Structure 1
Amino acid sequence: MKTSLVNTVWFSEKRKNLLLLLIEGTRDIEQIKKSLNVTARAIMPQIKMLKQQHLIKEVGDSFSLTTAGEIIVKNMSPLLETSRVIEENKDFWTTRNYDAIPSHLFSRLREVGHYFLIEPDINHLFELPREFTENIPRSKNIMTFASYLHPTFPSLYSGVSDSVNEISLFLSLPAFEKLRDEYTADFTKLMRSDSVTLFLFNDDIKLPMITVTDKFSYICLFNEEGRYDHRDIISFDESALNWCHDFFDFYRNKSREVLQ
């Protein structure tokens, strides 16, 4: 009975891990054993099967991907990475509202990379998380998209406005009006700062907040019921920073700058 490529690739962790290892470059058997923590007896049958399916080839004492193997592995990697991101906190990712995420970015959710899920602390439920407030002052370039105004937000951002290179704030109309009318001193300082640019978006965008700096990214999403449950994602991976920058590029075209 002929074994399909799908079965060959996906139905064995050893084969899958070997393919992912070889996408990084040619390996001999000793390097394979060490990298995958396997014995020669355990891995040789998998190598034989992958050779029979023309996914890997043997050159001298080393193994590498064939052209077909390289095509398959390059296409399986995004799925595996997306699965890892979701699997690590399945309850979180499967209960989010993604309406505000553009389709081209939704399909790249794997780029969140290695992240931390910030769970709400009942004793500090209405405070900005420490992971956020400690990293904002360490950042030099800050972009924040916010549909609501947290009470700590105005003083935090006005407090760092003199020490950063650039702050870009994208605010909903209610958040902007609250900042202007209830936090007058902070609003005035932000508006007068050469490092701060305010943008206003008029659409009803279902997203509490996204922040990206040169240090970290911070993603807040509503749940399926449209409520903010204070469960947030923080990532320091470069891919996550790039993903958030692309998010801001998308919404920059849908916002207008607030002039002094």
Structure 2
Amino acid sequence: MKSSLVNVVWFSEKRRNLLLLLKEGKRDIEQIKKSLNVTSRSIMPQIKTLKHYHLIVQEGDYYSLTGVGEIVVKNMLPFMENSRILEENREFWASRNIDAIPPHLFSNIRKLGHYFLIEPDINHLFELPREFIENIPKSKHVTTFVSYLHPAFPSLYSEASLSGVKISLLITKETLEKLEHEHYEDFRNMTEVDNIDIFLYQGNLKIPMVTVTDWFSYICLFNKEGRYDHRDIISFDESALSWCQDLFEHYMQNSKKFNPEKIAEPLIGISEMS
């Protein structure tokens, strides 16, 4: 019976569409035909099949989901929404290293919602994307964890912190070394304000950067060869903000707060934290 239900639902687009339509409420045959743009001849066999498997029921002129039908549709939707996310940019997702995303979060990848894939042209390949640069200063709170340090990143976050943006920054040991050694002034500026918290990740972070603010989220992933190819995702959906925040909290479990006193002078502090 379980196998038959799978076949009934997934082997017919018309049946899937009808089940999804009836999730919104009962419909008569004329409403079904209009909503799905079908004829009576094409949809009646599908209705008969769904009735046979007790997924829909007819009461008078109206069709509605049964209790079993409601359960089936409820479990259909996450799979379909996850599939939509991956299908929209199939090559991109197939080429990503997703090991850095814990399974319980990747299974909810649908929460990225209506996202945009940013693919810079060759002339801007090594620049921070305009969408990122423009949106950071507009945010009231910025949460970021980063292992790939773009040269423009320190000054952007230094300016944001000095302008009052609340920042939570999770970095790797290697990123900390680069900040201390190569961007000392910007890093010192960030540690001298009260509105930034810096955390050191105690492991190997296999993700270039994930940023979530009060109104947008930004995700960078390495490809399967372990390279960052500057193809990023941005989303403004509330569900994406929540998903990225959960990802940040996942990595926060293996981190500790950085003591800013350790950068009183350049080139020191790393050995003390090891």
Match of 1:226 in 2: 226
Which one-letter code corresponds to 1:237 in the other structure?
Answer: D
Cα distance in 1 for residues equivalent to 2:130 and 2:34:
40
Q: Offset at 1:65?
A: 1.0
> Does 2:95 align with 1:118?
no
Shift of 1:76: 1.5
- In structure 1, what is the equivalent of residue 146 of structure 2? 146
RMSD: 1.9
With over 3 angstroms needed to count, the CA separation of the structure-2 counterparts of 1:204 and 1:122, relative to structure 1, is: same
Counterpart AA for 1:230? H
Which residue type is aligned with residue 139 of structure 2?
A: S
Name the stretch that deviates more: 200-209 or 36-45.
36-45
Deviations 1:18-57 (A, max 9, x none): 1112223333444433432334443333222212221011
Describe how 1:12-51 pairs up with structure 2 within 5 A.
12-51=12-51
Q: Residue 158 of structure 1 aligns with which residue? A: 158
SS for the counterpart of 2:51 is helix
Cα deviation, residue 103, structure 1: 2.0
Secondary structure in structure 2 of the residue aligned to 1:99: coil
Residue 207 of structure 1: how far off its partner (Å): 0.8
CA distance in 1: counterparts of 2:40 and 2:237, whole angstroms: 35
Instruction: Give 1:259 shift.
Output: 2.5
Question: Which residue does 1:105 correspond to in 2?
Answer: 105
Deviation, structure 1 residue 162: 4.0
Pair 33,131 (structure 1): closer, same or farther in 2 beyond 3 Å: farther
Contact 1:29 1:61 in 2 (8 A): yes
Paired residue total = 258
Matches within 5 A, 1:1-260: 4-260=4-260
Letter in 1 for 2:76: M
CA contact 1:221–1:232 (8 Å) conserved in 2: yes
Q: CA deviation at 1:180?
A: 2.3
Q: Which runs of 5+ in 2 are unaligned?
A: 261-274
User: Cα distance, 1:165 vs. partner?
Assistant: 4.9
1:142 deviates by 1.0
Shift of 1:173: 1.2
CA offsets 1:62-120 (integer angstroms, 9 cap, x no match): 32211111111111211111211111111111111122111211222222222111113
Equivalents in 1 of 2:62, 2:259: separation in Å? Answer: 63
Q: Return the alpha-carbon distance in structure 1 between the equivalents of residues 94 and 236 of structure 2.
A: 22
Letter matched to residue 187 of structure 1 = F
Percent identity of paired positions between Structure 1 and Structure 2: 65
Deviations for 1:189-230, whole angstroms, at most 9, x for unmatched residues?
A: 211222211111131121111111111111111111111111
Does the C-alpha gap of structure 1 residues 18 and 196 become closer, same or farther in structure 2, counting only changes over 3 Å?
same
- Structure of greater Rg: 2
Q: What is the identity, as a one-letter code, of the residue corresponding to 2:178?
A: K
Q: Distance in 1 between matches of 2:178 and 2:85?
A: 36
The CA deviation string for residues 131-178 of structure 1, in whole angstroms up to 9 with x for no partner, is 211221221121111002111111111222244552111111121222
Paired residues of 1:139 and 1:164 also in contact (CA < 8 A): no
TM-score (norm 2): 0.87
2:267 aligns with none
Contact 1:113 1:239 in 2 (8 A): yes
Name the aligned partner's letter for residue 218 of structure 1.
Answer: Y
Secondary structure of 1:100's partner?
Answer: coil
* Separation (CA, whole Å) in 1 of partners of 2:162 and 2:35: 48
**Preserved contact between residue 161 and residue 196 of structure 1 (Cα < 8 Å):** yes
Offset of 1:182 from its aligned partner?
2.1
Is the Cα contact below 8 Å between 2:82 and 2:107 reproduced in 1? no
What SS class does the counterpart of residue 93 from structure 1 fall into? helix
CA contact (8 A) 1:141 1:164 kept: no
Amino acid in the other structure paired with 1:214 = D
- Do 1:148 and 1:172's aligned partners in 2 also have CA atoms closer than 8 Å? no
Q: Which moved more, 1:20-29 or 1:105-114?
A: 20-29
Query: 1:97 corresponds to which letter in structure 2?
Result: N
The gaps in structure 1 that reach 5 residues or longer are: none
